[in-house]
C-alpha cells in the first residue's frame, strides 16, 4: 500500500507524514476519549506525568481502554508503513495517549529504546518505529515533533543534549495526520508555547523478535482478545509467543 516515493522517503529521511489519514469524526472521538482517560487517571492519583512541572502526560494500554483504540491501531496505511519497516509479522510495543500541556518544554532529541541501549554501531535496518497520531493540529507553537532527516543512518552517534542541529525540522500538519518515525531517527517533542494542550496518540511497534514495551497478552482483557481480528491478535503478540516445546 506504500508508493515507491513513500518507501524512498522512509528509507532516506527516516520519517513520513500521512496527511488526513484519520477522518474528522474519528479524530474528534479519539481526542475526547484520550482527554477523558487522562483526566480520570489524574483524579485517581494514577496519572503518568513527566517533564518539568508535570507538563506532559501518558495514558498507557489503550488497547484495553476502548474499542475505538482497537480499531484505530489497525489503520491500513499506518500498518503498511510499519510492515515495510519492521516486517510483515511486526508487533505492537505500546499504544498510548501523549499530551503536552501549555508550558511543556522542549524534550530534546533521542532515539527509541532499545536502540538507545545497544552498543555501536547499531543495526543498519529498522528495529522499532513510532506512529504519531495528530489529534490536534501540530504547529511550531504547540510542540510539533522534531526530526533530524537521515539521522537513522548515523549508526555510531547519538544526539547531544543542548545542541541545536541545523537540519532539525518540526513536522507540522493538520489534525487527523499520522507521522511515521523510524525509531533510530533523532526526534523529540518541542516546546508547547500555546495555551492549549497538544494531544496525540503514540502507536509504537517493534520487530516480532523483540520484547515489547508492554506485555499486551497479560494486560488486556480476555474480551478484547476474544473479539480481536487476526491482525490485532498478531499485533498483540499471539503469533510471536516463545515455543512451548520441551
What whole-number distance in Å separates Cα of residue 33 and Cα of residue 52? 25
- Sort 183 into a burial class: Cβ within 10 Å, 0-12 / 13-18 / 19+: buried
Q: pLDDT, tens digit, for every residue of 200-214?
A: 999 999 999 999 999
Which residue's entry shows cell 516515493?
A: 5
Q: pLDDT, tens digit, for every residue of 229-240?
A: 999 999 999 988
pLDDT at 159: 94
β-partners of residue 72 are none
pLDDT at 239: 85
- Is the pLDDT score of 135 beyond 70? yes
* Residue 164 confidence class, pLDDT cut points 50, 70, 90: confident
pLDDT at 1: 83
- Is the pLDDT score of 7 beyond 90? yes
The mean pLDDT value for 147-156 works out to: 97
pLDDT at 161: 87
- Is the pLDDT score of 244 beyond 70? no
The pTM of this model reads 0.96
- Is the pLDDT score of 18 beyond 90? yes
In angstroms, what is the C-alpha Rg of the chain?
17
In the 3-class helix/strand/coil scheme, how is the chain assigned residue by residue? CCCHHHHHHHHHCCEEEECCCCCHHHHHHHHHHHHHHHHHHHHCCCCEEECHHHCEEEECCHHHCCHHHHHHCCCHHHHHHHHHHHCCCCEEEEEEEEEECCCCCCCCCECCCCHHHCCCCCCCCCCEEEEEEECCCECCCECCCEECCCHHHCCCCCCCCCCCCCCCEECCECCCCEEEEECCCCEECCCECCCCCEEEEEEEEECCCCCCCCCHHHHCCHHHHHHCCHHHHHHHCHHHCCCCCC
- Is the pLDDT score of 160 beyond 60? yes
The mean pLDDT value for 171-193 works out to: 98
* Residue 39 confidence class, pLDDT cut points 50, 70, 90: very high
Cell of 165: 542541529
The mean pLDDT value for 96-111 works out to: 97
The mean pLDDT value for 215-233 works out to: 96
Mean pLDDT of the chain: 96
- Is the pLDDT score of 246 beyond 70? no
Residue 74 and residue 229 in contact, taking contact as beta carbons nearer than 8 Å:
yes
The mean pLDDT value for 180-197 works out to: 98
pLDDT at 80: 98
Amino acid at each position: 500500500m506504500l508508493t515507491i516515493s513513500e518507501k524512498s522517503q522512509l528509507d532516506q529521511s527516516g520519517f513520513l507524514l500521512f496527511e488526513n489519514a484519520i477522518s474528522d469524526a474519528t479524530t474528534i472521538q479519539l481526542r475526547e476519549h484520550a482527554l477523558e482517560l487522562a483526566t480520570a487517571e489524574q483524579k485517581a492519583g494514577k496519572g503518568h506525568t513527566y517533564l518539568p512541572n508535570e507538563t506532559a502526560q501518558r495514558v498507557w494500554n489503550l488497547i484495553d481502554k476502548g474499542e475505538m483504540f482497537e480499531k484505530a491501531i489497525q489503520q491500513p496505511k499506518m500498518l503498511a508503513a510499519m510492515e515495510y519497516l519492521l516486517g510483515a509479522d511486526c508487533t505492537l510495543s505500546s499504544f498510548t495517549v501523549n499530551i503536552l500541556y501549555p508550558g511543556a518544554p522542549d524534550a530534546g532529541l533521542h532515539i527509541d529504546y532499545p536502540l538507545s541501549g545497544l552498543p555501536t554501531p547499531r543495526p543498519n535496518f529498522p528495529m522499532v518505529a513510532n506512529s504519531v497520531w495528530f489529534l490536534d493540529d501540530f504547529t511550531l507553537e504547540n510542540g510539533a515533533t522534531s526530526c533530524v532527516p537521515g539521522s537513522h543512518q548515523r549508526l555510531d552517534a547519538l544526539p547531544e543534549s543542548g545542541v541545536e542541529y541545523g537540519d532539525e525540522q518540526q513536522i507540522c500538519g493538520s489534525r487527523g495526520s499520522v507521522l511515521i518515525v523510524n525509531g533510530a531517527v533523532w526526534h523529540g517533542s518541542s516546546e508547547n508555547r500555546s495555551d492549549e494542550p497538544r494531544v496525540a496518540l503514540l502507536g509504537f511497534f517493534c520487530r516480532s523478535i523483540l520484547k515489547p514495551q508492554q506485555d499486551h497478552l497479560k494486560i488486556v482483557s480476555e474480551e478484547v482478545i476474544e473479539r480481536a481480528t487476526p491482525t490485532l491478535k498478531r499485533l498483540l503478540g499471539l503469533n510471536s509467543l516463545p515455543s512451548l516445546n520441551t
